[in-house]
Chains A and B, each alone.
Chain A
Amino acid sequence: MNLTPESPELTAWVLGELPETKHREVEAIISSRPDLQAEVEQLRALTNTIGLALETEPVWKLSEERRRCILRNQRPLIKAGPWSRIRSRLEVGPGWFHGTGWIIGLSTAAAVALVCLHVSNEPPRALQETSMALARLS
C-alpha cells in the first residue's frame, strides 16, 4: 500500500473506520514512517478539537408548541411563514380546534347551512303542489 500524509486512508485510520485487516496493515506502515506519525498526531489533534468545538455550541431545542404537537402525535399546524403566528394561536386554542377538527367543524356547518337552505325552499314547492291538487279536484 502506498501511503502518503495526503492519503484519505490515514484519516480513516485515525477515525477507526478501516476494516480490521487494513487497519493493521496501515498501522504497521505508520509505525515505520515518522512523516505519517506526525500527520496522524495532527489529525488526532484536529478531530479532537472539532469534536470539542461542536460540544461548545449552544443546545438547540424545538419550541414548546412544536414539542407538544409531536407528543400529541398530531400533524403540525405550525409552518414557517406569515401565518405561523395565527397557526400557533390555533394550536393552543380549545381541543376541538386542534388538528383537522376545525376543518370538520366548518364542513359540518356548511352542510347544515345547505340543508337549511334546501328546506327553506320546500314550502313554496309544497304550496304549489297543493294548489295544483286542489285545482284538479275542483
Chain B
Amino acid sequence: MSGMEPQPSRCDTERAISKPDEWIREALACHEGPLLRYAFSLTQNAETAQDIVQDTFLKLCEQDQRTVAPYLTRWLYTVCRHRAVDILRKSNRTVELTEEEMNQKPANIPTPSETTEQIDLYARVLLLLENLPRNQREVVRLKFQSQLSYQEIADITQLTPTNVGFLLHTALKSLRQRLESLDRPGKSSAPKMEKQLAKAP
C-alpha cells in the first residue's frame, strides 16, 4: 500500500530556458488560468484578479529568466499573493473567515432538498470549496489545482509546512462533512456520498 500518488507534471517553463518572449508566453499559457482563480479566491473580485495577475506577469518580465525559471510556479504565486494582500489591505477588505464565522454565514449553499438532485458532485464540491474559510480554500487550491507541495505552499503563504498540513486536513474534513450533510436531509445518507465519491473516476 502506498500513499504516493504520481504528481501531474508542471509546465516546462520551470525546467527549460527558452527565449525571453517565448518564456513569458509559455508562462502565461501555463499559469494565467490557475493564477486568476487563485487571485479571485483571495479577493473575490474578477477585475481585481485580472489586475493582480497582469501585475504579476509584468513583474515577471522584469526578472532574469535564469534566476526565476527554476522556481517559476512558486515565484508567480508568491508575487500574486503579495499583490492581493496589498490590494486587500489598501481597500480595507479582509475576507478572512474563521470556521465559526463560516458556520454562521448565510452561505449561498442551497438547501439539501434543492440541490441533491440538481447539482452534480463536482459542482457541489466547488460550491463547498468556495465557502471554506479563505486560508483553507487557499491551500486546497494550491495543493489540488497547482499541485504544489506542503513546503512550496508554506513558502508562498508564509506558514510552516505543519500548518499547511493541518489547514489542508481541516479543509478536507470540513468538505467531507458538508458533502455528507448535503446528502442528508434529516436522515443519515452518508453512504450515498461515499458511493458517489467511489464512482468518481
Residues of chain A touching chain B, judged by Cβ–Cβ distance below 8 Å, are: 6, 8-18, 23, 26-27, 30-31, 37, 40, 42-43, 45-54, 56-57, 59-63, 66-67, 69-71, 73-76, 78-80, 84
Tell me the bound Cα distance from A63 to B47 in angstroms.
Answer: 10
Contact, CB under 8 Å: A54 / B172: no
A43-B172 contact in complex given A17-B165, A75-B58, C-beta closer than 8 Å? yes
Which residues from chain A contact B141 at a C-beta distance below 8 Å?
54
Contact, CB under 8 Å: B176 / A62: no
7 A-B pairs with least C-beta separation:
A53-B122, A45-B197, A8-B169, A53-B125, A60-B36, A16-B4, A80-B47
A6 to chain B, nearest CB (A): 8
Tell me the bound Cα distance from A48 to B176 in angstroms.
Answer: 13
**Interface flag for B201 (CB, 8 Å):** yes
Contact, CB under 8 Å: B197 / A30: no
**Interface flag for B182 (CB, 8 Å):** no
Contact, CB under 8 Å: B172 / A47: yes
Contact, CB under 8 Å: A57 / B3: no
Interface residues of B in 121-145 (CB under 8 A from A): 121-123, 125-126, 129, 140-141, 143-145
Which residues from chain B contact A49 at a C-beta distance below 8 Å?
121-122, 125, 197, 200
Most chain B C-beta atoms within 10 Å of own C-beta, residue among A16, A49, A62: A49
Interface residue from B58, B129, B169 paired with A76 (Cβ < 8 Å): B58
Contact, CB under 8 Å: B172 / A11: yes
B177 to chain A, nearest CB (A): 11
Which A-chain residue is minimally distant from B52 (CB atoms)?
A: A80
* Proximity string of chain B (25-63) to chain A, C-beta cutoff 8 Å, 1 when within and 0 when not: 100100011001100100001011011011101100110
For chain B, give the interface size range. 35 or more
A62-B194 contact in complex given A49-B121, A57-B37, A70-B61, C-beta closer than 8 Å? no
B69 to chain A, nearest CB (A): 17
Tell me the bound Cα distance from A56 to B124 in angstroms.
Answer: 12
Interface residue from A31, A42, A50, A76 paired with B51 (Cβ < 8 Å): A76
Contact, CB under 8 Å: A47 / B144: yes
**Interface flag for B101 (CB, 8 Å):** no
B130 to chain A, nearest CB (A): 11
Tell me the bound Cα distance from A67 to B172 in angstroms.
Answer: 35
Most chain B C-beta atoms within 10 Å of own C-beta, residue among A23, A31, A60: A60
Tell me the bound Cα distance from A56 to B21 in angstroms.
Answer: 30
A29 to chain B, nearest CB (A): 11
Most chain A C-beta atoms within 10 Å of own C-beta, residue among B45, B53, B200: B200
Tell me the bound Cα distance from A59 to B37 in angstroms.
Answer: 9
Tell me the bound Cα distance from A60 to B173 in angstroms.
Answer: 28
Contact, CB under 8 Å: B3 / A27: yes
Contact, CB under 8 Å: A11 / B57: no
Interface residue from A12, A50, A59 paired with B125 (Cβ < 8 Å): A50
Contact, CB under 8 Å: A46 / B129: no
Which B-chain residue is minimally distant from A48 (CB atoms)?
A: B200
